[in-house]
A and B are shown apart, each in its own frame.
Chain A
Amino acid sequence: MKISALRLFNVKRFASRGVAIEGIGDGVNVLCAANEFGKSTSFEALHALFFQPHSGTPGDVQRLRPYSGGNPLVEADITTDGGSFRITKQYYGGRSARVLDLGSGRLVAQADEAENFISSLIRGGTSGPAGLLWVRQGITGIEKRSRIEEEGEKQVRQSLLESVQGEVEAVTGGRRMADIMAAAKEALSDMVTATGRPKAGGRYAAAIEQRDRLAADEARLAAEVTRLRQALDQRANAAARLVELDSPAEREARRAAIQTAQSRFDAAKAQNEKLKTAEAELKLVSERRNAAERELKAFTEALGKAALLQSSLSSAEINRAEAIKRRREASDAIEKARENVDLAEAEEQELRERLIRFDAATKAHEAHKRLADVKQRLAEAEKLRQSIEEGEAQLALLQIPTKSIEELQACEVEIAKLRAIDEAARPSVSIHYEADTAETVTLDGKPLADGEDRTYDGHARLEVAGIGTIILRSNRPSRSDNQLVQAEAARTALLASMGVNSLSAARDRQARAQQADSDLRGSRDRLSFVAPEGLAKLREEVEAGNTTSLEGIDLDEDPALLRTALAQAEERRKQARLALREVEPDQSRADDAFVAAETRLASLISDQAQLAAILGPEEARSERAHTLSGTLTDLDKSLSEAEARVLELGTDAGDLASIEATLTRARSIEAAVDKEINALRETMAGLNAEIRAQSEEAVEEKWRETSEALTAANARMAAHEKEVAVLQRVTTALENARSEARELYLKPVMAELGPLLRLLFDDVSITFDDKTLLPQTILRNGQEEDVDRLSGGMREQLSVLTRLAFARLLARDGRPAPVILDDALVYSDDDRIEKMFDALHRQSRDQQIIVFSCRQRAFQKLGGNVLQMKDWQP
């Protein structure tokens, strides 16, 4: 089918108006118009003509009606294999549908028959293959649309592919495949979740749960059984041991062992008592014998000592007598020496006193002689001091500081200098009289001589006789004489401070002061010579001389003689002292010797008394010695007898400790056995209770039961695992097969789309969605992207290309249909649009394509047959 003209009247904005688009040809036709020019209206009217029955007023039809109301009329001229026809439809008032054969001009069909005619052209309305070839503004075919519309288009695509590639059912397994897949998935979903985990509440999870529960139970019961078996073993061991311990033979053996040990122990104990008595006796005898031996020995020794002592005693007495004699001699010698010393000392003392007296007399005489000289010096010194004091007073009056004089001099110079400067700066006037001029000019009343240079201050009056008075004005500010006045004030102050009236007077006074100072210095030197230690000292000396008297001074003795005698007396005294020191020690030595002799004698006498006590009276001594030795002999005999007895008893006694140990051991065995028997009975009682409790609970049976159940559960779980694996394998196999089948199924459209894609994009491939039969993902630069995420431009391009591919497919199937694009390329850039134009032209060789667009400039390049809208009146 091809469309050659479209006319519409009273449609939307064309209220009571009509437009016509004539001359639509083969290939690409372009209607470019600005927005609101009726372009989309034309598209919608065309769409309604083909797809909306004239009798109905659904939404699409209502939208065709202008606001002012009226009856929309749409007409199109078409060409099919059967010829050229004009289809006309009017909606609302006067609704009608008509088909006119343009060749013959005859009415082919009206009303419902006309609708049937149109339906046969498009084969099944919007769900027919032609429906998909309409690409509307903004609808790229990939965006969300109403489900019905979506489904309808899908059906279209599907039916088209089926017509080309064969029944889709046959290729993809169809309903059977879906049913089987659903059955497998349902079976699988009973057991596992989508991610392959056991599904909670499912059979598989239940099997796992049961297995885990049984495993836990089994472990718990196994432990209990182990415990039970241990208890059984322990009880058996305990019972065996008890039987062994508690047997009568064993008991008798233990009792007999204790009895034997006891009797042996008793016997040994008795023997031991006897031994102890004998040992005590032995000890007693032994002590007695030792005492006798000691006594005898002491007696014999005392005898010997007594003899020795006698001779010592007599020699000691001789020693004592000698010591006494020596002591007396020493005492005499000392007395004599002491007398000598006293004598010598007295002599020396007398001589010394005489010498002292002589020295004192000599000194007093000399002092008297020196007094006159001192008095003379004192008089001179006092006079000198007076003159010094006068000189100092005079000097104080005359003295002027040298610095003040220098300052005064500087002051004078400054004043002179200032005066000279002042004089030099003053204005002056002088007159040189003519020779014959007699008259004299006066300045301020004083005549001015010829050539005299007179200065003045401020102004001056020149009186010239015969002429008048001439006023001279210096016109300079009256000079300040501050400096000069200050200098003169300073000079006056200096002079006053010095007490002079001029510089020369000051200098004169300075010279006189220097003279006075020099005199003063001479007097001082003299005073220090006359009284080197000061006046006070001199006065003291005079005072001392006055008090000294020369009474009683004897200067008769010869001092040399006196001194010699004194030296001799001292020598004698020293000698006497030495002699005394030599004899003094003799005294103490003699005393010591005497004490020693006395001590020794006393000691010997006490020894003698002691011995006498031991020995007793002399006459009984030999008899006593005999008795003592006899006693010792007797005791020796008794001792050896006692020793023999102890030895004998000891041999018989045996090792009491070992025998007692044997007894203790025998008894402890009995005690231990009793204790063990009791312990065993207790243990068994405890074990009995435990075992009874366990066996009443039938733990062992439960364990075996659980263990068997666990084995079964494991098998069941393995079966379930296998079942899951099998079902997963089935599902995977089916899915793979179906997806491969779909690829095969989509092959024709892919074959058409491929070249178109390559026109626009480099290296891009597309996968189709199984369900919608539309592009789902595109692969470019090795990356897969969802079509939904592509740019608007690319999506609309893909949409158009897909439709072109399907249209081509349709054409090949012998059912060519026009492709109508209403502003389908709004997002595409110029470059791409040109490529799209190429694609359109490529497809248009055996295809009618009608393009509506508002992008006049861009679509100029599309070329093709340019359509115009013209006014039209039906």
Chain B
Amino acid sequence: MFRFIHSSDLHLGKRFGNFEGDLPSRLREARHHVITQLAAHAREQSATTVLLAGDTFDTETPAPHVRRQAFAEMAHDPEIRWVILPGNHDSLQSSQLWTTLKAEAPENVVLAVEPRPIELASGVVLLPAPCTTRRPGRDLTEWMDGQASPDGTLRIGLAHGAIRSFSEEGAASEVIPPDRARRAGLDYLALGDWHGTVSVDPRTQYCGTPEPDRFKHDAPGTALLVTMAGSSSIPDIQALPTATFVWRSLDLHLLEGDAPEPALSSLLPASRERRNSLIRVVASGHTRLAARADLVAAVERAAPDFAFLELDQDGLATECELEDLDQIDRGGALREAANALLAESTDERRPLSEREIARAALMRLYSYTQAVTS
């Protein structure tokens, strides 16, 4: 039996320039913290090996403190062996990085920088496919097919890149065939690059990033604990939570007459979790002027609880009834202005952008009237 932890895409040193305040540094710190988490899991699960399937570092030239502190953390427990594979973000093209890493790596860190077998344990061989450049333009796992090993040896493949057409980097020509594990007689193929967890087949797995960095995947960050009873038996795979931060897109579908605030509250996580949550509320459906204003206000009220909270209301249509307009004014110039804006926002002959502006202007007028009245 052989047991190891499969992780990838740590992207150490990523800076998160799209956020403000102290959030970027917290997110960066969380990525470093993943190493501690993985080591803890390994100890807990009595796994001695952690395979990192590429993109351990966010760039080809990580700042010295990023790599030194990472190695220091890995070296903390000498019982755990870390295998680091070059990915597309930290490819071998950056030969100096790997030269430096080689020089700085503690004893329990193995750099899988050459496509040749590494014996992980007796009867367990690792076949790594390091990324030679940012875009190698070929399938780097091909060599695994021809690499023989004695009968009964556990063969584990380690690679970074896209299977099928999905990739974190957009269109990719260097596609790993989905049946590489079968073709090369691999007992397990540990893949990296895709930030969400994907099970390609029982023996081929994307572990996803242990600490999410975007709203795209909408899944908590995990690492995979892989237990292999022996050759020919299907490996046992278990997801372990690793993430500090939660990135979620929450769909808030409103129907006319729905009170937005309770609906929002029911979606949002518990108060204590909010500090480490990045939430995007994607509103859709129909709402009245008042409800819409309520929703915006509710999101604004809740925002300080969160690491990040934003409202995407592009998909939310506003219904405007007479009574809504009456709330602005029953007559006179204000009502005339509201009527004009409503007419413009529903005038199909106008370009969409103008209608959009008119609709928003009507919303604004409404909120002003409410503010003045109150």
Binding site for B on A (CB under 8 A): 169-174, 176-177, 179-180, 183-184, 228-229, 232-233, 235-236, 239, 687-688, 691-692, 694-702, 704-712, 722, 725-727, 729-730, 733-734, 736-738, 740-741
Contacts and interface: CB of A to CB of B under 8 A. Distances in A.
Contacts of A183: 368, 371-372
24 contacts: A169-B332, A170-B331, A180-B368, A183-B368, A229-B60, A232-B93, A232-B94, A691-B96, A695-B63, A695-B64, A696-B64, A702-B15, A704-B58, A704-B59, A705-B17, A706-B17, A709-B17, A722-B357, A729-B360, A730-B341, A733-B337, A733-B365, A734-B334, A741-B336
Given A733-B361, A737-B333, A704 B93 contact: no
B18 interface: yes
Contacts of A738: 333, 337
A729 B336 CA distance: 14
Given A702-B15, A712-B18, A729-B358, A173 B333 contact: yes
Given A172-B332, A691-B61, A701-B14, 12 more contacts: A229-B134, A687-B96, A695-B60, A695-B63, A712-B17, A726-B360, A727-B364, A729-B357, A730-B361, A738-B333, A738-B337, A741-B336
B311 to A, nearest CB: 12
Contact of A704 (B15, B19, B133, B340): B15
A737 B372 CA distance: 18
A602 to B, nearest CB: 105
B39 to A, nearest CB: 24
Contacts of A169: 332
Contacts of A692: 96
Nearest to A703: B59
A350 to B, nearest CB: 143
A176 B18 contact: no
A687 B94 CA distance: 11
Contacts of B372: 176, 179-180, 183
Interface string B323-358: 000000101111111101100000000000000011
B331 to A, nearest CB: 7
A704 B17 contact: yes
B185 interface: no
A18 to B, nearest CB: 55
B166 interface: no
Contact of A708 (B18, B94, B373): B18
A738 B336 CA distance: 8
B368 A184 contact: yes
B334 A173 contact: yes
Interface in B284-300: none
Contact of A722 (B61, B340, B360): B360
B21 to A, nearest CB: 12
Nearest to B330: A170
B332 A698 contact: no
B369 interface: yes
B340 A736 contact: yes
Interface of B: 13-20, 24, 58-64, 66, 92-97, 133-134, 329, 331-338, 340-341, 357-358, 360-361, 364-365, 368-369, 371-373
Most buried by B among A688, A692, A704, A711: A704
A235 B96 contact: yes
Given A173-B329, A709-B18, A184 B364 contact: yes
Contacts of A729: 341, 357-358, 360-361
Contacts of A704: 14-15, 17, 58-59
Contact of B336 (A170, A176, A737): A737
A180 B362 CA distance: 13
B interface SS class: helix
A interface SS class: helix
A699 to B, nearest CB: 7
Contacts of A228: 60-61
Contacts of A710: 17
Contacts of A733: 337-338, 340-341, 361, 365
A236 B335 CA distance: 71
A733 B16 CA distance: 41
B18 to A, nearest CB: 4
Contact of A726 (B19, B58, B357): B357
A169 B332 CA distance: 8
A668 to B, nearest CB: 30
B26 to A, nearest CB: 14
A696 B334 CA distance: 61
B368 A740 contact: no
Given A229-B60, A733-B337, A741-B336, A236 B364 contact: no
A221 to B, nearest CB: 11
Contact of A694 (B61, B337, B360): B61
B166 to A, nearest CB: 21
B96 A730 contact: no
Contacts of B369: 176, 180
A866 B364 CA distance: 64
B329 A708 contact: no
Most buried by A among B66, B95, B338: B95
Nearest to A235: B95
A191 to B, nearest CB: 13
Contacts of B329: 173, 176
Contacts of A170: 331-332
A236 B336 CA distance: 71
A730 B52 CA distance: 56
Contacts of A712: 17-20
Contacts of A699: 61
Contacts of B97: 695
Most buried by A among B20, B24, B134, B333: B333
Contacts of B357: 722, 725-726, 729
A695 B62 contact: yes
A700 B340 contact: no
